[in-house]
Structure 1
Amino acid sequence: MNVQRRHGHAAVRAAALVGCTTLVLSLTGTTAQAEARDLGREVLAAGDGWASEGAGTTGGSAADAEHVYTVTTWEEFKAALKAGGDAPKIIKIKGMIDAVAQGCEAFEAEGYDFQQYLADYDPAVWGHDTPVSGEQEDLRDASADNQDKAIKASVPSNTTIVGVGENSGILGGSLQIKAVHNVILRNLHIEAPIDCFPQWDPTDGARGAWNSKYDGVVVYGSTHVWIDHNTLTDGRYPDSSLPKYFGEIYQQHDGLLDIVRGANYVTVSWNSLENHDKTMLIGNSDSTAADDTGKLKVTLHHNRFKGLVERAPRVRFGQVDSYNNHFVVTKDQSYGYTFGIGIESRLYATDNAFTLAPGVSVGKVLKKWKEAPLTAENNYVNGRLTDLIAVHNAEIPGETLQSGAGWKPTLRTHVHPPQAIPWLVDHRAGSGRLS
């Protein structure tokens, strides 16, 4: 079966040239305009993804002067979030603010000793049949609770959070957009939080595993959220730098951007998500049908997903529209899959570009977790028009996927030719690149 078809080089070059020329023209002369803009007052454009449904997403754009804050520390940021309740507010983050500037030691409960923890729960001593318990596990749990209270920041309704300039954002904090409405995050550099106290679970798999918590951003049961022009990454602490204990990676990262528990009407646009493992869940469990059925409507467009292992995204239940994104799998990185097809999901993935390193199987772009149809059309892999479903079914016959999501997106901005997407997205996605 010939499932990849090469279009003429001239057509590809022409489409890419159109996209590149458009971008150059859009960038010319915009610096002064960008400097004069007040990002906090900007709202999501009509028709820009699921978050534009109904009354749209305006965040804190209507804030009065009393509810506009500029913060330079984590403490100031958390205080600004609490001030004024749900009244419209704009929070401008200036510079990189650090949620764990004092170090992990500041969260340790008295008596906690990691070396003793390793000694007590070494599989040679504890085995693999029973979850860990006892004094050091209790102290680890208390230490984890201290960190939890310190690094989580709850975002209220009607809030816009923006980075000032080209290098502002959050190190090691976890933004909780939970059970609220109408939130905007823009122009932020977000370094995923490190779990200082992962738990050893000897019963997780045949060898046991270290389990961590804390997402960089989690949208939980919230509606009308716009996440735009941010960079989310493991930053200074890539998984490759993490040690091993008991023969397993001491995993200190969880999700990068998760959208779960009945969240609805979310647009994720022009972000760069880089160098992470468990990147994005849309729907966090097969057992949450009561919360998620009819919800989890999410649009992903013009994002760069680079150096990611899996979940870009993994979808359950939701009607997810993914278009004009660039997915990059680099040489020698770990790679599991890009799109995870989960229970009752209806993924509509078109007009995307994939750049896969030599030797990376195209069939792994899709991963079937449960029976659910999807639409995957006009996607390009290394410059070639590729039927992702046909390739997957040919290469992985035990996981046959069905074509046809049963719906068609109507809330889309301009759809660019997918041949132009690698250049366009790589030059404009991420923080510090608003124009």
Structure 2
Amino acid sequence: MRSRTMHIHRTLRHARALARIPATRTALVGCTALVLAVTGTLGIAQACPQVRDLSHETLADGDGWGSEGDGTSGGAAADAAHTYTVTNRTELVAALESDPGQPRIIQVKGTIDFNTDASGAPLTCDDYATDGYSLDAYLAAYDPDTWGRDEVPSGPQEDARAASAANQAARVEVKVPSDTTIVGLGTDARILSGDLQVKAVDNVIVRNLTFEDAFDCFPQWDPTDGDTGNWNSEYDNLVVYGASHVWIDHDTFTDGRRPDSAQPYYYDRIYQQHDGELDVVKGADDVTASWNTFADHDKTLLFGNSDSAASTDEGHLRVTLHHNLFKDLGERAPRVRFGQVDAYNNHYVVSDAASYVYSLGVGVSSHLVAEDNAFTLPDGVDPSRVIAYWKGTGLTADHNHVNGHEVDLLAAFNAANPDTPLGDDAGWTPTLRTEVDDPGAVPGIVDRGAGAGNIGKAG
């Protein structure tokens, strides 16, 4: 019996290697499990209609910070009564809120639009507006030519904007409880216009979903933000806020139908309706984000949201990023404060030199390790632009490739920025890695396997 069991384990390891899924404790279901039990081989499992049960898969041992301690199993322990298939916002919220304290698996089918009412009817920005708010009135009230640039907006229109924003927040911000797995069914499961919040909980898995266009109907104008002011918005696609043990895997994050390039300008600044795609903030810890696609966005990943949050964030914000595709982003992939962040085997693709700012943001007390990544940069983007200084002191950046050749990114940055040189030591050495690919192979591996609908397609 022991020999048969060892044979099955070896066969499973071989199957995972072929499928390029090193960071998953794979659940076998249906006839596949039966074939293994009887024959000890996967040889005839191809006839099975279903091989993998994504809903019960858990993060593999040693796969990044999310595997620290007790690891991340999400809702794998859920019974049938706490396994839900949801097709709209009302069903999703009910599944999240039912039976507090119970592990749960939530399977998303099709598109769930968070800007909908209880009956599923779509809501527009006009439906949220209240107390006399209108964009035209707001623009007239706070025009810098009359309001000035020294004070943030206040008064009736700003109060109305805030009240309107609260109405939208009540619909699009949805909280996830502990011991939960949320997984997309098939290849087209989508969260539209939603802000999924993993806040002050533990043990959550989010997989195989496309997050599209978490847009703010009511951005706030701040004339004191920067030299010329900025429009600031709320709503990230996914927020990990004071939470621990979170696995974010094979998801796609995109502005989709509402790209920034289509946004108007007011007061000579883009009317920015998007915030981030994934934020890890407020003492969150033990997060692994693997095999995701982050695309077509400006400020993308923020780990630590304040330079003054040492009391909350120091010793936390430990995040692993591996085998993610970062495509056509402006900046923050990621920007890091305080945390020990391990970014390896990611592919960074830049198409438009004019809209690109940087990829790796070295912030206050950050401990960022960026190794064995691949960067595909166009003419006009020098490798020195990959790193940005945000009051940090150093990072470890080894064995990275740019356009197929190894480049010392840190040396390039320091040569171009002699007034703010960075040290070459992040102060720690990552150990929680399952497999590190050669950076020369990363573009092919990641481009094929990252994102929603691509589980098992890497390699």
Q: TM-score, normalised by structure 2?
A: 0.87
Deviations 1:380-430 (A, max 9, x none): 000111111111111221221100122111110111111010011000000
Selected match of 1:128 from 134, 145, 149: 149
Q: How many residues align?
A: 414
Whether 1:361 aligns to 2:382 is yes
5+ residue gaps, structure 2, are 1-14, 21-43, 116-121
The residue matched to 1:399 in structure 2 has which SS?
coil
Distance 1:420 1:141, change over 3 A: same
Confirm whether residue 50 of structure 1 aligns to residue 40 of structure 2. no
Q: Quickly say closer, same or farther: Cα 1:97–1:338, change in 2 above 3 A.
A: same
Q: What does residue 345 of structure 1 align with?
A: 366
The 5-angstrom pairing of residues 254-403 of structure 1 reads: 254-403=275-424
Instruction: Extract unaligned runs of 5+ from structure 1.
Output: 1-21
Residue 419 of structure 1 aligns to a residue whose secondary structure is coil
Contact 1:307 1:333 in 2 (8 A): no
**Would the aligned equivalents of 2:353 and 2:381 in 1 still touch at CA under 8 Å?**
no
Deviation at 1:372, TM superposition (A): 2.2
The residue aligned with 1:15 is none
Cα distance in 2 between the residues matched to 1:201 and 1:232? 27
Offset at 1:374?
1.2
> 2:192 aligns to what?
171
Secondary structure of the structure 2 residue equivalent to 1:193:
coil
Query: Which residue type is aligned with residue 232 of structure 2?
Result: N
Is 1:79 paired with 2:94? yes
Q: What residue in structure 2 maps to residue 90 of structure 1?
A: 105
User: Which letter does structure 2 place at the counterpart of 1:79?
Assistant: A
Evaluate the alpha carbon distance shift between residue 23 and residue 272 of structure 1 in structure 2; reply closer, same or farther with a 3 A threshold: farther
The answer as to 2:138 corresponding to 1:103 is no
RMSD: 1.9
Moved more, 333-342 or 264-273: 333-342
Q: Identical aligned pairs, as a percentage?
A: 56
CA–CA distance in structure 2, aligned partners of residues 427 and 93 of structure 1: 23
Q: How many Å separate the matches in 2 of 1:316 and 1:126?
A: 34
What is the distance in 1 between the residues matched to 2:228 and 2:429?
44
Separation of aligned partners in 1, 2:127 and 2:410: 50
The change in CA–CA distance for 1:321 and 1:141 in structure 2 (over 3 A counts) is same
- 1:288 offset after TM fit, Å? 0.6
The residue identity in structure 2 corresponding to 1:300 is L
Report the alpha carbon displacement of residue 133 of structure 1 after superposing the two structures with TM. 1.6
Q: CA deviation at 1:23?
A: 11
CA distance in 1, matches of 2:192, 2:159: 27
**1:417 counterpart letter in structure 2:** D
1:426 alignment counterpart: 447
- Residue 19 of structure 2 is aligned with which of 10, 14, 26? 26
- Report SS of the residue matched to 1:412: coil
Deviation, 1:278, is: 0.8
Q: Which amino acid letter does the alignment assign opposite residue 390 of structure 1?
A: A
User: 1:146, CA displacement in angstroms?
Assistant: 0.2
The two structures have a TM-score, normalised by structure 1, of 0.92
Q: Does 1:150 align with 2:171?
A: yes
Tell me the CA shift for residue 25 of structure 1.
5.3
Give 2:83's aligned residue.
68
Relative distance call for 1:33 and 1:379 in structure 2 (3 A) is farther
Q: Which residue of 2 aligns with 1:119?
A: 140
1:319-354 deviation digits (Å, cap 9, x = unpaired):
111110001111345111110001111111111100
